[in-house]
Amino acid sequence: MTEATHRAAVLGHPVAHSLSPVLHSAAYRALGLDRWEYTAVDVTEERLRGFVDGLDDAWAGLSLTMPLKQVVFELLDHVEPLAEVVGAVNTVLFQPTGSGRTLVGANTDVHGLVAALREGLGSGPGERPVVSAVVLGAGATAASTLAALAELGCTSPTVLVRSLGRTGGLQRAAHRMGVTPRFELLDPATARVRDVDVVVSTLPSRAADPVAEALTAHAAAGGPAPRGVLLDVVYDPRPTALSRAWAAGSPDREGLVVGGERMLLHQAAEQVRLMTGQVAPLAAMAAALEEALAPSVAGA
């Protein structure tokens, strides 16, 4: 009997830029899952229900990016507690049942954030405790960041936002988590980010550039460098202006910057585990990701 094909995909709008197919496909190759396929499909909020309803029994799961992480809730039969409290689902698992299938929503962004931050903090017995933290931004990734910081020991971070009037969703998520963030305006941010254990920027590409410029100006005036670990979830361009400003001045400081691709890697690894039931081959996935992100060689 021919082995059945298993399918999975990342959905979003737009989604052509997604590196999830690179990561998942590399995992399938390393695990010898020759009958597994992973693609990217552009799906809007309006088309999501119709797309999911049209999937057959070959589908094992879906990865979700914006703008689908909240709207998918109404399609799910069960939501795992972490995804429920964060208010964002980035993973849908298709579980066969006697009468069909059950759609389960999960969140692997928190896992990805915790694992990426631990790389900067130092894993194992020497891991630095997170007492103070700053989060830039108030979207879905910021909610996952609050959960990740709480897991690392910080339940009262400062959240810097461009508009206090657009923090309602994050404030509700924080209340569900039992964390008590302090909300302040993003400008001026330099003093807030220089003296904390962890800073996580969840802002879109280049939106954190003004913070980078302020840090650079502060350093040029002889001010001290930031002391904590920075995770900028953006990985294009790489390194970001914020990452360059954070690491400036000493090669040793480069270890205090964690690129957003590391969060992407770890959250995808957890998705692979949930969808296939096998431990994700992290090294193979990381190698494929680095190759995909490497600058193209002229003339190649």
Q: For the chain, how are helix, strand and coil distributed in percent, rounded to 5?
A: 45, 20, 35
| Residues 6 or more apart whose Cβ sits within 8 Å of residue 287 | 26
Sign of the Cα torsion 245, 248, 251, 255 reads negative
Dmax (CA) for the chain in angstroms is 72
Question: Of the residues 6, 7, 24, 69, which is catalytic?
Answer: 69
> In this structure, are residues 194 and 133 in contact, taking their beta carbons and an 8 Å threshold?
no
Q: 69 catalytic, yes or no?
A: yes
Q: What is the torsion angle, in degrees rounded to the nearest 10, for the CA atoms of residue 281, residue 66, residue 89 and residue 96?
A: -70
The DSSP code for 129 is P
Tell me the sheet residues that pair with 93: 61, 104
Q: How far is CA 225 from the centre of its chain?
A: 26
Look at residues 184, 193, 234, 240 and name the one whose alpha carbon lies nearest to residue 215: 193
Q: What is the torsion angle, in degrees rounded to the nearest 10, for the CA atoms of residue 152, residue 229, residue 252 and residue 188?
A: -160
Look at residues 276, 285, 298 and name the one whose alpha carbon lies nearest to residue 8: 276
Residues tagged active-site: 69
